[in-house]
Amino acid sequence: MRYESDKKTKKIYYFAATHWDREWYKTVDEYRFLLVPVMDKILKTLSTDPDFKLFTLDGQTSILEDYLTVRGSGSQEDLLKSLIHDGRLLIGPWYTMPDEFLTSCESLIQNLLYGHTICEKYQADPLKTGYVCDTFGHIANFPQILNGFGIKSALISRGTNDDDLDCFFQWSSPDGSDVLTFKAPEVCGYGSFFFEVLSEFAPNYEEHIEEMTEKAIRYVERELTRTSLPYVILMDGMDHETIHEFIPEILARLSAHFDCPVVQERLDDVFKEINKDLPGKPSARTGELTDHCKAYVMHNKLIPHTLSSRYDLKEANDRCQNLLEHYAMPCSAIDTINGTDYLYSYIDYAYSLLLQNHAHDSICGCSIDAVHREMQTRFAKVYHTAKEYFFQFCSREYFRS
Query: The CATH number of the domain where 199 resides is what?
Result: 3.20.110.10
Residue 198 and residue 113 in one domain: yes
The counts of H helices and E strands in the chain are 14, 10
Domain-ending residue, one of 286, 318, 346: 286
Kind and range of the H or E element at 235?
strand 231-236
Same domain as 222, residue 338: no
How high is the pLDDT of residue 5? 46
Domain boundary among 229, 255, 286: 286
Contact 34, 242 (CB under 8 A): no
Catalytic machinery residues: 134
Spans of the chain below 50 pLDDT: 1, 3, 5
Q: Flag whether 27 is in a domain.
A: yes
Structural domain total, the chain: 2
Contact of 157 with 192, CB cutoff 8 Å? no
Which pLDDT does position 303 carry in this prediction? 85
Percent of the chain with pLDDT over 90: 85
State residue 327's pLDDT score: 98
- pLDDT per residue over 189-227, tens digit each? 999 999 999 999 988 998 999 999 999 999 999 999 999
- Do 50 and 87 belong together in one domain? yes
**What is the per-residue pLDDT for 400?**
76
Whether 323 and 200 map to the same domain: the answer is no
pLDDT confidence of residue 393: 94
3-state secondary structure at position 156: strand
Residues 210 and 345 in one domain: no
Beta-ladder partners of 284: 170
Q: How many CA atoms lie within 13 A of 126 on its CB side?
A: 25
CATH of the domain at 311: 1.20.1270.50
| Single pTM value for the model | 0.95
Neighbours of 298 (CB within 10 A): 9
Name every residue whose Cβ is closer than 8 Å to that of residue 397 and which is 6 or more positions away in sequence.
334
Residues listed for the chain: 401
Q: Is 2 among the domain residues?
A: no
Q: Quick one: 150 and 242 in the same domain?
A: yes
Q: Are residues 36 and 158 in the same domain?
A: yes
The C-alpha atoms of residue 259 and residue 11 are separated, in whole angstroms, by 9
103 lies in the same domain as 185 = yes
pLDDT reported for residue 278: 79
For residue 92, give Cα distances in angstroms to 105, 243, 259, 301. 18, 18, 33, 26
Tell me which DSSP letter residue 243 carries: -
Domain contains 384? yes
Q: Amino acid identity of 169?
A: F
Kindly report the CA angle at 347 between 346 and 348, in degrees rounded to 5? 90
| Residue 297 in domain | no
* Residue 293 within any structural domain of the chain: no
d(CA 379, CA 360): 16
Domain containing 95 equals 11-286
Residue 94 lies in a domain: yes
Model pLDDT for residues 290-345, shown as the tens digit of each residue: 998 877 666 677 888 899 999 999 999 999 999 999 999 999 999 999 888 778 89
